[in-house]
């Protein structure tokens, strides 16, 4: 299993771009990188997933350098409602086989201030 | 299109009792995974069901068991409840071409 390190907490202000970096030095060849967002008393919500280079969707971008030993989740122009815990997961999708290969760490607690 | 639904939303049990939690996966998903999330921690993988069989299991005792039905819905059973079993229990569904989609969980309190 890939060992994952991400900051425990981050503060930002409304309207700023937020970048959360995740380190996964021992990522395996078949591993994908997936980010989830979780609000209190709710289940985690899928944000974005990628394998290499850059992936962008309507809510975020994911940057993955060539060596894939880290990845950065970028949230453009955050608002107060983006205050949440953000989890970086690394694992082999294996035919959609999300299971013990995908380990949640403690996540990054993002606080967006007015 | 309904997402993952879990019931009940909250539950209070006494130590030693047994509990059953239920989950209906997102439409089109055939795999169900269960997670336990203690306060302030990330979700911990309990087990996963596919084609009505337990396919993977995390580091949880046999007191935790489950079942998947032909319609892909699933149950999580916990026997001989301990105070330490108090947590948010999350169900997630997935399929070959879809990432994990989580329900909002069942908050279990053991007194």
Peptide bond into B59 cis (omega under 30): no
Report yes or no: B89 and B105 within 8 Å, Cβ to Cβ: yes
Percent of all residues in chain B with a pLDDT value above 90, rounded to a whole number: 88
Contact between B92 and A34 using a beta-carbon 8 Å cutoff = no
The structure tokens listed for B97 are 């071409």
Residue A37: predicted pLDDT: 97
On chain B, the residues whose CB falls within 8 A of the CB of A105 are: 42
Contact between B100 and A102 using a beta-carbon 8 Å cutoff = yes
Q: What does residue B73 show for φ and ψ, rounded to 5 degrees? A: -65, 165
Chain B nearest-CA distance from A95, in A, is 5
- Residue B58 contacts A, CB cutoff 8 Å: yes
Give A43-89 pLDDT, tens digit per residue. 999 999 999 999 999 999 999 999 999 999 999 999 999 999 999 99
Q: How far is CA A68 from CA A3, A30, A65, A87, in A?
A: 13, 11, 5, 17
Residue A102, burial from CB neighbour count under 10 angstroms (0-12, 13-18, 19+):
buried
pLDDT at A1 over 90: no
Contact between A97 and B31 using a beta-carbon 8 Å cutoff = yes
Distance CA A102, CA B107 (A): 22
* Ramachandran region, residue B46 (left: φ > 0; alpha: ψ -120 to 50; beta: rest): alpha
Chain B nearest-CA distance from A79, in A, is 22
Percent of all residues in chain B with a pLDDT value above 70, rounded to a whole number: 99
> Closest residue of B to A32, CA-based?
B99
Handedness of CA A51, A54, A56, A62 (dihedral sign): positive
Give B10-51 pLDDT, tens digit per residue. 999 999 999 999 999 999 999 999 999 999 899 999 999 999
Q: What is the largest CA-CA distance in chain B?
A: 41
């Amino acid at each position: 299993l890939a060992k994952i390190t991400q900051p425990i907490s981050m503060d930002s202000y409304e309207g700023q771009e937020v970048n959360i970096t995740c380190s996964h030095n021992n990522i395996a060849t078949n591993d994908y990188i997936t980010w989830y967002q979780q609000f209190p008393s709710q289940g985690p919500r899928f944000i974005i997933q990628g394998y290499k280079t850059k992936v962008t969707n309507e809510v975020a971008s994911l940057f993955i350098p060539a060596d894939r030993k880290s990845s950065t989740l970028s949230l453009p122009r955050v608002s107060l409602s983006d205050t949440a815990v953000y989890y970086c997961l690394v694992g082999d999708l294996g035919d959609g086989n999300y299971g013990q290969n995908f380990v949640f760490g403690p996540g990054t607690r993002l606080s967006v201030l007015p | 299109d309904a997402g993952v639904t879990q019931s009940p939303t909250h539950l209070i049990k006494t130590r030693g009792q047994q509990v059953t939690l239920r989950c209906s996966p997102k439409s089109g998903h055939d795999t169900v995974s269960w997670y336990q999330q203690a306060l302030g921690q990330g979700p911990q993988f309990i087990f996963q069901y596919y084609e009505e069989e337990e396919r993977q299991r995390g580091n949880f005792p046999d007191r935790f068991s489950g079942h998947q039905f032909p319609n892909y819905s699933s149950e999580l059973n916990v026997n001989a409840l301990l105070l330490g079993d108090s947590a948010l229990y999350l169900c997630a569904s997935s399929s070959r071409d879809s990432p994990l989609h989580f329900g909002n969980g069942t908050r279990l309190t053991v007194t």
